[in-house]
Structure 1
Amino acid sequence: MSAELDSPDASTMPSTGLSEILAPGLSVVFCGLNPALSAVRDGHNFSNPSNRFWRVLHLAGFTPRLLRADEERELLQYGCGLTSAVSRPTKSASELKRQDYLSAAPVLENKIRKFAPANLAFLGKAAYAAISLRADVEWGRQPEEFAGAAVWLLPNPSGLNRAFTLTTLTEHYLELRLTL
């Protein structure tokens, strides 16, 4: 299901001014761990040139062309949205602690219930492992839902995540895209 670009339901993360890209009934909302300082500075999600998010989305077929970070609102046309598990920006997500995710979980849950996406894709394991109280989470579709949405764990596309090549990142994201 697609949504209008000028959806009145788009919101802003209170402590950052960075836009969340949300609308009711999206196919998937990608949930980053938290905003990067560079994204807050630039005013757009995943704006660091070393971040592979936009490239991976295109290669996995979520978007028909490679979007730039400043075109992030176009994701709504393709049934996709963006949010963060924790709204506090950091230089590196490794600065976040388990308690940060647990404290932010009720806000995320309310947001997902309100917008009711079919799928919620956490970008990285840390947030979901903390929220679900499971230390042994694996990549891919999870057995439980979160706030009514199917849960997926996808590798974080950050350029700091050297454990995944562009090809292996794309394979993980494609697994989700093929279910839509």
Structure 2
Amino acid sequence: MSGANHMIPGSIAHSASPQALPDILEPGLSVIFCGINPGLRAASTGHHFAGRGNRFWRTLHLAGFTREELRPEAGRSLLHYACGLTTAVSRPTARADQLSRAEIKAAAADFELKIACYAPRYIAFLGKMAIAELTGKRDIEWGLQSLSFGGASTWVLPNPSGLNRAFSLEALVSAYRELRLAVQSGQTEA
């Protein structure tokens, strides 16, 4: 596996790329939230979802995952809530559509090994693009999936990016809350 440091359970793993955004992971988390790749601002600051228009941290708090709204700089605090963060592809771009399908597919095997190593209960993909390309499955619905990924139950949530205005804040919160309730109830099958 390239970037063997992904295989260091119990630590914050860093990708081999100097511009890549560090994962916030430890073994056995309830949920690992997975963005497709870092935005340029997140990569330059070293903090997930650091873009001014990104609604991730607010959505997570309003959905009940955190007691307070975390700031991107406090992203590591997410581990205290049994949640982590990663990206399917480490290369930063201004928009996810700047990644090629081949680039996402090339990341699939290593990414699935990383998820298997950290063994979360759920992997929550933020948007359909990454899971579709990683699995080759095209009929992706929102919510709990019938397939597992890296041994984890798989959930698909709307992307909280400020560029994704197809979902209001209220719709995002509702979708994320559904995952939180499933985590609390122990639901792992569609």
TM over 0.5: yes
How do residues 118-129 of structure 1 correspond to structure 2 at under 5 angstroms? 118-129=121-132
Q: Could you report, residue by residue, the CA deviation over 1:46-101 in whole angstroms, capped at 9, with x for unpaired residues?
A: 00110000000000001010000000000000000000000111011011121111
TM-score normalised by structure 1 residue count: 0.94
Structure 2 partner of 1:170:
173
- Inter-partner Cα distance in structure 1 for 2:161 and 2:87: 14
**C-alpha contact 2:10 2:25 (8 A) present in aligned 1:** no
How do residues 37-56 of structure 1 correspond to structure 2 at under 5 angstroms? 37-56=40-59
Q: Secondary structure at the match of 1:29?
A: strand
Structure 1 unaligned regions, length at least 5: 1-6
- Inter-partner Cα distance in structure 1 for 2:134 and 2:46: 27
Which residue identity does 1:49 align to in structure 2?
Answer: R
Runs of 4+, deviation exceeding 2 Å: none
**C-alpha contact 2:144 2:156 (8 A) present in aligned 1:** yes
State which of 18, 31, 34 in structure 1 corresponds to 2:34.
Answer: 31
Which residue identity does 2:142 align to in structure 1?
Answer: W
How do residues 64-143 of structure 1 correspond to structure 2 at under 5 angstroms? 64-143=67-146
User: How far did 1:17 drift?
Assistant: 4.4
RMSD of aligned alpha carbons: 1.0
Structure 1 partner of 2:16:
14
- Inter-partner Cα distance in structure 2 for 1:101 and 1:177: 27
- Inter-partner Cα distance in structure 1 for 2:16 and 2:78: 21
Which residue identity does 1:48 align to in structure 2?
Answer: G
TM-score normalised by structure 2 residue count: 0.89
Q: Does 1:156 align with 2:159?
A: yes
Q: Secondary structure at the match of 1:103?
A: helix
- Inter-partner Cα distance in structure 2 for 1:127 and 1:55: 22
Q: Could you report, residue by residue, the CA deviation over 1:25-45 in whole angstroms, capped at 9, with x for unpaired residues?
A: 000000000000110111101
**C-alpha contact 2:20 2:43 (8 A) present in aligned 1:** yes
Structure 2 partner of 1:3:
none
- Inter-partner Cα distance in structure 2 for 1:152 and 1:18: 22
- Inter-partner Cα distance in structure 1 for 2:20 and 2:178: 32
- Aligned in 2, Cα 1:8/1:132: closer, same or farther, shift over 3 Å? closer
Which residue identity does 2:55 align to in structure 1?
Answer: R
